[in-house]
Amino acid sequence: MPGRLQNRVALITGAGSGIGLECSLLFAQEGAHVALVDVNEQAVQKTHALIAERYPNVKSLPIKADVSKEANVKDMVDQAVSSFGRLDIMFNNAGIMHPEDDNALNTEERIWDLTMNINVKGVWWGCKYAILAMRKNPTDESKGLHAGGSIINTASFVALMGAATPQLAYTASKGAVLAMTRELAMVHAREGIRVNAICPGPLKTPLLMDFLNTEEKKQRRLVHLPMGRFGEAIEVARGALFLASDDSSYVTGTDFLVDGGLSSSYVTPL
Ligand code: NAD
């Protein structure tokens, strides 16, 4: 059985951990060639080694890059295209949630700027160079490849809901990702480039679990989760696979929620 991403080329940022790691493995399992990007070189090499071990027929390329730097982003897209010949899927997923990010009164400007540079500017650069590459994608019907491509940007449920446990820079950055995604989806719709945002709920990944480092902090959130548990990175990766594949060929400009019902909830079950 051919995979759902057979012969496609995907670039995934934040591929060394959490959602990016699970997504890299899932896309490889579905037959994509994967360019794996992370600022943490050791982590991205580990993902690369896992793919080589589990999916020996898949081509995988580990790249160290900081998505907040335009030159790094241009270079990572160039490397993916020169190694694999095209770029069909761009998953702008890398992001940070800084432990010193707080409310309007306590958040320092350097934390705000750092968060915006990675979470917003990083997504902008990723979209810019993906669009330039996707415009050149030739159609190859024998391999099921077509012009255009799919861009997925990781936002968050906090772009849609207010939290009384504030992280103002992070929340604002994810709202910007949603707004940017919608506009890019409209601008590039007739070029066959789809642009969607994925909004995970709170997940059991290092990003959140390092922050929720006491049982009390975990319980403060768990009471609001309809399913009574945090999500898993693989559950978000499966949503990203839908947006990456032709299964979502008529989906663009959406805020795709993978949040266990959190954003629909008022009172949760006991
Ligand atoms: P994670 O911390 O497990 O993984 C993030 C990866 O991004 C890390 O490997 C890190 O090295 C990399 N990274 C950080 N800054 C980078 C940079 N400047 N350039 C390149 N790579 C960089 O986090 P995760 O939970 O998998 O989060 C992935 C995305 O999902 C983020 O955008 C995050 O905001 C979002 N998200 C996470 C949750 C959650 O609860 N974990 C919820 C909603 C949204």
pLDDT of amino acid 257: 98
pLDDT at 30 over 80: yes
Ligand 1 in reach of 62 Cβ (< 6 A): no
Ligand 1: centre distance to CA 93 (Å): 7
CA distances from 129 to 74, 153, 173, 180, 206 (A): 6, 14, 20, 15, 28
Ligand 1: centre distance to CA 189 (Å): 27
Residue 206 alpha carbon, nearest atom of ligand 1: 3
Ligand 1 in reach of 148 Cβ (< 6 A): no
pLDDT digits (tens, 9 = 90+) for 157-192: 999 999 999 999 999 999 999 999 999 999 999 999
Count Cβ atoms within 10 A of the Cβ of residue 53 and give its class: 0-12 exposed, 13-18 middle, 19 or more buried: exposed
Q: What is the Cα–Cα distance from 117 to 95, expressed in whole angstroms?
A: 10
Percent above pLDDT 90 for the chain: 97
CB–CB of 217/161 below 8 Å? no
Work out the pLDDT band at 154, boundaries 50, 70, 90. Answer: very high
CB–CB of 154/96 below 8 Å? no
Q: Which of 21, 25, 38 maximizes ligand 1 atoms within 8 Å of its Cβ, making it the mutation to test the pocket?
A: 38
Rounded to 5 degrees, φ, ψ at 116 are -65, -40
pLDDT of amino acid 128: 98
Ligand 1 in reach of 95 Cβ (< 6 A): yes
Ligand 1 in reach of 156 Cβ (< 6 A): yes
Q: Which of 17, 120, 209, 257 maximizes ligand 1 atoms within 8 Å of its Cβ, making it the mutation to test the pocket?
A: 17
Q: Which of 177, 205, 259 maximizes ligand 1 atoms within 8 Å of its Cβ, making it the mutation to test the pocket?
A: 205
Residue 155 alpha carbon, nearest atom of ligand 1: 44
Q: How many CB atoms lie within 10 A of CB 14?
A: 30
Q: Would you list the DSSP string of 206-219? A: HHHHTTS-SHHHHH
- Altogether, the residues listed in the chain come to a count of 270
Ligand 1 in reach of 181 Cβ (< 6 A): no
Ligand 1: centre distance to CA 99 (Å): 13
pLDDT at 211 over 90: no
Work out the pLDDT band at 207, boundaries 50, 70, 90. Answer: confident
Q: What is the Cα–Cα distance from 27 to 19, expressed in whole angstroms?
A: 12
Active site residue 55: no
Q: What is the Cα–Cα distance from 118 to 87, expressed in whole angstroms?
A: 22
Ligand 1 in reach of 92 Cβ (< 6 A): no
pTM over 0.95: yes
Ligand 1: centre distance to CA 204 (Å): 12
pLDDT digits (tens, 9 = 90+) for 41-94: 999 999 999 999 999 999 999 999 999 999 999 999 999 999 999 999 999 999
Query: Among the options 129, 170, 250, 266, which is catalytic?
Result: 170
CA distances from 111 to 123, 131, 207, 212 (A): 18, 29, 16, 19
DSSP collapsed to 3 states, 154-205: ECCHHHCCCCCCCCHHHHHHHHHHHHHHHHHHHHHHHHCEEEEEEEECCECC
CA R_g for the chain: 18
